[in-house]
């Protein structure tokens, strides 16, 4: 392989999600000092020169690379965990990181079955000697606290029975609350919280349908300015669409590390559940298969592991 080709391969190995370990071993591991000097000169985004022309790693890039090297390890560790422990740890991490990732709490509370959410609460007790409910109530301030406490406390009926008249009435209640958002934030409306935190998912899908008949739009479209409520409705009523969006954002180059973490989280947590439906929804929405997008964006062992999980269905 020509030196310019090797430089390009090495540059690609350090780019994207994860790292291309095989290329690093075969090229960098077998390189001579002059070749490594060419690599440093040829990758100014990784290395910089000081006033003495001394070539050194860019410290910010080193910090980013640590995250990329750890992606494979983190994915494997999460995959091997009991799902209850995994969800408990994801909630704990979200509470530590703050409001920008509280959507992970919504995701876990609303896309798990009643037994799975109860299991996560039990695991949280064992791991942290607190309840999820008390930690959510303690750490989260502002108007979303009441909704999130109610969601993580839920134990929903999971049967198929739905009272259509009740679903229509509650669709009307939600429509009224959203239309009057300039007077009262719907996330603080007790009836909105009651409906979203207690009703079965089958019931809420009927509410979703009737809401569109009433207002002419899907409820989540009317909630664009209320992110936490929008996430709640999508996770409860259209989870595949929600997960597809999380994946699409995570696979972009220009997003923060918390957003990128969504790729590992969604694939690991949904591989045994509804990955087939998520893949179909992703391709319908974005015009490319999820596997192809991962192939284009990720590197090395991390990429191979994700593709293995995605191909299980």
End-to-end CA gap in the chain: 38
Query: In degrees to the nearest 10, what's the CA dihedral of 177, 173, 222, 155?
Result: 100
Tens digits of per-residue pLDDT, 52-102? 778 888 898 888 889 999 999 999 999 999 999 999 999 999 999 999 999
pLDDT score, position 38: 85
pLDDT mean across residues, the chain: 93
Tens digits of per-residue pLDDT, 294-312? 999 999 999 999 999 999 8
| C-alpha–C-alpha distance, residues 187 and 281, integer Å | 28
Q: What percent of the chain has pLDDT over 70?
A: 99
CATH 1.10.220.10 in the chain, residue ranges: 84-155, 157-237, 238-313
| C-alpha–C-alpha distance, residues 125 and 102, integer Å | 20
298 phi/psi in degrees, rounded to 5: -100, 170
pLDDT at residue 3 tops 80: no
pLDDT score, position 6: 80
pLDDT score, position 2: 55
For range 96-115, the mean pLDDT: 97
The third-level CATH classification (topology) of the domain covering 238-313 is Annexin V; domain 1 (1.10.220)
CATH class of the 84-155 domain in this structure? mainly alpha
Contact 17, 299 (CB under 8 A): yes
Tens digits of per-residue pLDDT, 151-210? 999 999 999 999 999 999 999 999 999 998 888 899 999 999 999 999 999 999 999 999
| C-alpha–C-alpha distance, residues 51 and 71, integer Å | 35
The domain 157-237 is placed in CATH, from the list 1.10.220.10, 1.10.3720.10, 3.40.50.720, 3.40.50.740, at 1.10.220.10
pLDDT score, position 225: 78
If one compares 200 and 11, the residue with the highest pLDDT of the two is 200
pLDDT score, position 141: 92
For range 249-260, the mean pLDDT: 93
pLDDT score, position 31: 86
Could you list the beta-strand ranges (E) of 27-181.
Answer: 47-49, 55-57
**What pTM did the predictor assign?**
0.92
* Range with lowest mean pLDDT among 11-20, 84-93, 248-257: 11-20
Q: Which residues pair with 57 in a beta bridge?
A: 47
| C-alpha–C-alpha distance, residues 167 and 163, integer Å | 6
Q: What percent of the chain has pLDDT over 90?
A: 77
pLDDT at residue 1 tops 60: no
What lies within 8 Å, CB to CB, of 193 at 6+ separation is 146, 147, 150, 187
| C-alpha–C-alpha distance, residues 202 and 158, integer Å | 8
């Amino acid at each position: 392989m020509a030196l310019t080709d090797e430089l390009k391969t090495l540059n690609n190995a350090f780019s994207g999600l994860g790292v291309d370990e095989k290329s690093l071993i075969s090229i960098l591991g077998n390189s001579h000092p002059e070749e490594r000097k060419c690599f440093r000169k040829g990758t100014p985004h990784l290395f910089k020169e000081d006033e003495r022309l001394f070539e050194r790693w860019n410290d910010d890039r080193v910090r980013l690379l640590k995250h990329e090297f750890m992606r494979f390890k983190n994915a494997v560790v999460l995959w091997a965990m009991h799902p209850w422990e995994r969800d408990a740890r994801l909630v704990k991490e979200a509470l530590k990181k703050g409001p920008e990732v509280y959507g992970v709490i919504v995701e876990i509370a609303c896309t798990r079955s009643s037994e799975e959410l109860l299991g996560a609460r039990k695991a949280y007790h064992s791991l942290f000697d607190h309840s999820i409910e008390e930690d959510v109530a303690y750490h989260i301030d502002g108007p979303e606290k009441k909704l999130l406490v109610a969601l993580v406390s839920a134990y929903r009926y999971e049967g198929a029975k739905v009272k259509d008249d009740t679903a229509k009435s509650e669709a009307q209640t939600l429509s009224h609350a959203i239309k009057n958002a300039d007077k009262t934030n719907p996330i603080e409306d007790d009836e909105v919280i009651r409906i979203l935190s207690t009703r079965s998912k089958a019931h809420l899908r009927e509410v979703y349908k009737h809401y569109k008949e009433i207002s002419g739009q899907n409820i989540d479209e009317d909630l664009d300015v209320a992110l936490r409520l929008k996430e709640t409705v999508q996770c409860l009523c259209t989870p595949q669409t929600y997960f597809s969006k999380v994946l699409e954002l995570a696979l972009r180059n220009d997003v923060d590390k918390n957003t990128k973490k969504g790729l590992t989280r969604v694939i690991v947590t949904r591989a045994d559940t509804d990955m087939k439906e998520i893949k179909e929804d992703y391709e319908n929405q974005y015009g490319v298969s999820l596997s192809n997008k991962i192939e284009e964006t990720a590197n090395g062992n991390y990429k191979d592991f994700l593709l293995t999980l995605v191909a299980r269905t």
